[in-house]
Amino acid sequence: MEDFEKNEVKRDSDTVFSQLVKAGKRTYFFDVKTTRSNEHYITITESKKIFEDNGNSHYEKHKIFLYKEDFEKFTDSLNEVFQYIKNNSSPADEVHKNNGDQRFTDVNFEDLT
């Protein structure tokens, strides 16, 4: 699994706290926001830079909204998933965890000419 770099950032006016995790070509944003009634909720955003055939690029984003009443259920389920993976890891998973994932390489477009 890839090492994650964590940074605290300020995103927009309704965001009261934010963390970002850079993971290769993806960036994940964990934002705590407030509603008009001053209730907290979380948005989880995955952002990935996409390159088109013509050389232009854009960001593809996927967002999840997680509301306070669902925090415990979400956390419990996520922990169960993590525990399952931990208990059922294959030898290949251990190799990738210890040596990095060798199946993918970063390609610099200048190197292709």
Among the listed residues 78, 81, 48, 82, the one whose alpha carbon sits nearest the alpha carbon of residue 63: 48
With a CB cutoff of 8 Å and minimum separation 6, the contacts of 12 are none
The whole-number pLDDT of residue 86 equals 93
Among the listed residues 61, 22, 29, 54, the one whose alpha carbon sits nearest the alpha carbon of residue 44: 29
The whole-number pLDDT of residue 1 equals 45
Whole-number Å distance between alpha carbons of 29 and 20? 4
Options 3.50.50.60, 3.50.50.100, 3.10.450.700, 3.40.190.10; CATH of 5-98:
3.10.450.700
Give the start-to-end residue ranges of the domains of the chain: 5-98
pLDDT band (50, 70, 90) for residue 98: low
Measure the N-to-C terminal CA separation of the chain; round to a whole number of Å. 31
Question: What is the mean predicted confidence (pLDDT) over 36-62?
Answer: 93
Question: What percent of the chain is predicted at pLDDT more than 70?
Answer: 70
> Is the pLDDT reported for residue 75 higher than 90?
yes
